[in-house]
Amino acid sequence: MTAEPGNDHWALTLYISGASPHSLHAVENARRLCEEELGGQVDLDIVDVQQEPALVVQDHIVAAPTLVRHMPAPLRRLVGDLSDLGQVRQSLELGSPESNDEPATPGG
């Protein structure tokens, strides 16, 4: 799946806290999301909250890891390591992971 038509450019910032396993997992998931879902149409910035506290204040970050979608509007924030891809797709408004036209019906 790729970004929806009309949303040509995405700008994301991932706020992490040091090199903890939780932060590293979030970075891995964010990069995979950018490659698989947004295929080259995204700028991903990774910010360590310990090294750049001014950016934390600017984006109103209260927990890490947090992914901030700056573009396309509206602004969105996702807190966590991005493991639940369904939740991430829904929050970023990427649509469903199914790319075929067949409806998902029970027993069908």
Question: In the prediction, which pLDDT does 95 show?
Answer: 65
Residue found by looking up tokens 């995979």 in the block:
32
State yes or no: pLDDT of 4 exceeds 50.
Answer: no
* pLDDT-derived band at 108, boundaries 50, 70, 90: very low
In this prediction, residues 79-85 reach a mean pLDDT of 89
pLDDT tens digits, residue range 14-60?
Answer: 999 999 899 999 999 999 999 988 887 999 999 999 999 999 998 89
Domain positions in the chain: 10-90
According to DSSP, the β-strands at 10-16 and 66-71 are antiparallel
Query: Considering the domain 10-90, what is its CATH architecture?
Result: 3-Layer(aba) Sandwich (3.40)
Evaluate whether 69 touches 11 at the Cβ level (below 8 Å): yes
Evaluate whether 55 touches 24 at the Cβ level (below 8 Å): no
